Amino acid sequence: MMSSALSVGAPAPDFTLPATGSDIRLGDLKGRKVVLYFYPKDDTSGCTKEAIAFNGLRAEFAAAGAEIIGVSPDGLASHDAFREKYGLEFPLASDAEKAMLKAYGAWGERNTYGKITLGVIRTTVLIDAEGRVARVWPKVKVDGHADEVLAAVKAL
């Protein structure tokens, strides 16, 4: 099930989600590169490390013409607290219904310490300025990931 819904070069699935600040709609970002990173839960160790890494490179992503958006099923109150606690300066979108997570192949079976559960599969999708999928990173390992995504954004 993992990211089989997405093909490089295909149009990225459109979405509108509530987010910190205001709703985010993919169509409103046309003309910009978009980094969507899907993470399981606010304020957990791996998710915090990933968010801080993306936030630390925020200016470089912006200089390369890219928007960063974090997406999880957590609600806006949780997102707001997470952003404030760590000084995150990019939006976090809430997909409580999990429709967008499923459309992007970031929801499904995952193995957590030997137990199979349904949940967010840590995934990153790079969308080009025309709204097409440029790259997909399935089953992300956090260490060094933000740097790798930044390099791909700069190469677009």
* Residue length of the chain: 156
Query: Which one of 47, 69, 150, 153 is the catalytic residue?
Result: 47
Q: Is 115 a catalytic residue?
A: no
* Residue numbers annotated as active site: 47
